[in-house]
Chain A
Amino acid sequence: DIQMTQSPASLSASLGETVSIECLASEGISNDLAWYQQKSGKSPQLLIYAASRLQDGVPSRFSGSGSGTRYSLKISGMQPEDEADYFCQQSYKYPWTFGGGTKLELK
């Protein structure tokens, strides 16, 4: 299975700060990567798919980039409602696998 190593495991950011979260795949995944947000007690919400495509309805301050084995999610201007867990998921090779998650808190 493809291993997805996500970093950092946790971080805190101030209002308006730009935040970046990374996922490193154990092999190349050809941009077949999604990012999800999960708020406490809620179901995951798809933010980004195909590494850089914004899901409908997701604020434009979220963006994704990367290639090969290294991918990142950027939040340009932390908002209070962005406090959540974030995780990546590869869909390049079955079985689909997930990163370990990043807990983002507002400082």
Chain B
Amino acid sequence: EVQLQESGPGLVKPSQSLSLTCSVTGYSITSNYWGWIRKFPGNKMEWMGYISYSGSTSYNPSLKSRISITRDTSKNQFFLQLNSVTTEDTATYYCARRRTGSGWYFDFWGPGTMVTVSS
């Protein structure tokens, strides 16, 4: 079965970079599309971006200047880097797989990792 697991620091200082890893088992990241989604306190959710099976990326325009998604196919992992964070980036971060087929729906998600931005 496909499983995703986020990992990374739970606390980041303002103005620093947030770096998270999504480790995938049961499915190769060289197939399909892989994304990052975050859920803010108060439950608002935001699509952040994705990396494709070929390594191409697409980002939410609201984050475009601060976000980077990369991957390591040898480890079947992909990564999120968000620069110049502020307290407004405090959220639970999820990685997810796009459901195979038409449409952009996400059928496997990691359990999420909470990141707090605070000095």
Contacts and interface: CB of A to CB of B under 8 A. Distances in A.
A40 B119 CA distance: 28
B111 A42 contact: yes
A74 to B, nearest CB: 19
A46 B62 contact: no
Interface residues of B, number: 22
A42 to B, nearest CB: 7
A91 B103 contact: yes
Interface residue tally on A, bucketed by range: 20 to 34
Contacts of A97: 47
Interface in A43-80: 43-46, 49-50, 55
Nearest to A101: B43
Interface in B39-79: 43-47, 58, 60-62
Nearest to A34: B105
Contact of A43 (B47, B61, B102, B110): B110
A49 B99 contact: yes
A100 B103 contact: no
Contacts of A34: 103, 105-106
A100 B46 CA distance: 10
B107 A95 contact: no
Given A97-B47, A98-B45, A101-B43, A50 B61 contact: no
A89 B47 CA distance: 10
26 contacts: A32-B104, A34-B106, A42-B111, A43-B109, A43-B112, A44-B94, A44-B106, A44-B109, A46-B105, A46-B107, A49-B99, A50-B103, A50-B105, A55-B99, A87-B43, A87-B45, A89-B105, A91-B103, A94-B58, A95-B47, A95-B62, A96-B47, A96-B104, A98-B44, A100-B44, A101-B43
Interface of A: 1, 32, 34, 36, 42-46, 49-50, 55, 85, 87, 89, 91, 94-98, 100-101
Interface of B: 43-47, 58, 60-62, 94, 96, 99, 102-107, 109-112
